[in-house]
C-alpha cells in the first residue's frame, strides 16, 4: 500500500493532541480550552481520513477544506494556551507541536490548491 503522508501526519498529530489533553487535565487542571483543542485537533485526521473515501473531487476538496479549517483552529487554541500560561512557548514539546500544526496547514493548503487546479482542467 502506498504511503499517505497527510494521513500519517494528521493521525500522529491527533495522538499528540490526546496526550496533551490528558496532561492539561491531569497536571494543569484545565478543562475548557483543552477540550476545544481536543475536538479540533483530532478532527483534522478524521476529516483527512474521510476524504479518502470521497465520492467526487468536490467532496474530496470539501472534506480536506474542513480538515484545514480544523487545523487552523487547533493553531489558535495552542496559541491561546500559550498566551494564558497553560503551555510554555519555550518548551521543546510545545515548539514541535506548533511546527507540526504549521506543517499540516501548509500540506492541507497545497492539497486543496492542487485538487482545485485538477478540477478546473
What is the rounded average pLDDT of the residues 103-109? 98
Contacts with 4 (C-beta within 8 Å, 6 or more apart), sequence order: 52
- Residue 1 pLDDT: 61
CA 112 to CA 72: how far, in whole Å? Answer: 14
pLDDT in tens, 5-59: 999 999 999 999 999 999 999 999 999 999 999 999 999 999 999 999 999 999 9
Place of cell 494564558: 84
Residue 18: other Cβ atoms inside 10 A: 13
> Which domains occur in the chain, in start order?
5-120 (1.20.1440.60)
CA 22 to CA 121: how far, in whole Å? Answer: 46
Grid cell at residue 14: 491527533
- pTM for the structure as a whole: 0.94
Amino acid at each position: 500500500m502506498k504511503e499517505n503522508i497527510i494521513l500519517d501526519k494528521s493521525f500522529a498529530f491527533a495522538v499528540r493532541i490526546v496526550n496533551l489533553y490528558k496532561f492539561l487535565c491531569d497536571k494543569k487542571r484545565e478543562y475548557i480550552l483543552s477540550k476545544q483543542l481536543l475536538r479540533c485537533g483530532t478532527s483534522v485526521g478524521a476529516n483527512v481520513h474521510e476524504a479518502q473515501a470521497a465520492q467526487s473531487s468536490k467532496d474530496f476538496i470539501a472534506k480536506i477544506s474542513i480538515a484545514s479549517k480544523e487545523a487552523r483552529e487547533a493553531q489558535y487554541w495552542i496559541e491561546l494556551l500559550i498566551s494564558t500560561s497553560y503551555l510554555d512557548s519555550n518548551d521543546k514539546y510545545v515548539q514541535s507541536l506548533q511546527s507540526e500544526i504549521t506543517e499540516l496547514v501548509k500540506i492541507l493548503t497545497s492539497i486543496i490548491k492542487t485538487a482545485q487546479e485538477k478540477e478546473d482542467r
